[in-house]
Structure 1
Amino acid sequence: MQDVVLASGWISTGALLGNDIKALIFNVGIPVLCGLFVLFVGWKTKAPGPTITAAVLATVVWGLAANMDTLQSKTVEDVTHYDSTMTVHKGDQ
């Protein structure tokens, strides 16, 4: 039986297609979609509260996408830290 990793390497797949398409997605695609999301919510609700909330959520998504490299290295540090500190003593189960 083979191990299958689900949803593995979407970013690496984009990198295989080329750094240009990766830069296009992160520098153009995500900001455009975030802007369209805010405009759509504002148009459909015609109220300031949901529109402001949509703008905050879009900003969070845009910011996380812009800092993907930082988040990736932080995640690797966390996983390495927890792997090295997780010890199971006999009788702890």
Structure 2
Amino acid sequence: MHEVVFAGGWISTGTGIGNDIKGLIFGVGIPVLCGLFVLVVGWKTKAPGPTIMAVIMAAIVWGLSANMDALKDKATDDITHYDNTSTVQKGDR
């Protein structure tokens, strides 16, 4: 019997498209949406306070999305640390 991989080319094509779309979302989509958010809030409110808060919120979203790899490693480290610690603390008896 021969081993046959069905849709082998389609799998690699789908993976390539997925990576390209991910790069497009994080590299272009999120920054554009953050800028659009700031512009809409500034246009609708015409006040500096809400616009400044919109800039801060957009910067947080953009910054967190740009550092997903570092955040992923941090979350894994926190989970590993939590799994290796005892749940009973001194004075918990």
Query: What TM-score range do you get, normalising by the shorter chain?
Result: 0.7 to 0.9
**Number of aligned pairs?**
77
Structure-to-structure mapping, 1:33-48, within 5 angstroms: 33-48=33-48
Backbone CA RMSD of aligned residues:
2.0
Deviation at 1:29, TM superposition (A): 0.6
- TM-superposition CA deviations, 1:13-58 (whole Å, max 9, x none): xx95521000000000100110010001001100011001100110
**Does the residue aligned with 1:18 lie in a helix, a strand or coil?**
helix
Aligned twin of 1:57: 57
Distance 1:86 1:19 in 2: 40
Structure 1 unaligned runs (5+)?
1-14
Larger Rg: 2
Structure 2 match to 1:18: 18
Residue 85 of structure 1 aligns to a residue in which SS? coil
TM-score normalised by length of structure 1: 0.75
TM-score by length of 2: 0.75
Instruction: Quote how far apart the aligned CAs of 1:88 are.
Output: 4.5
Query: Could you tell me how far apart the structure 1 residues matched to 2:76 and 2:68 are?
Result: 12
Percent identity reads 69
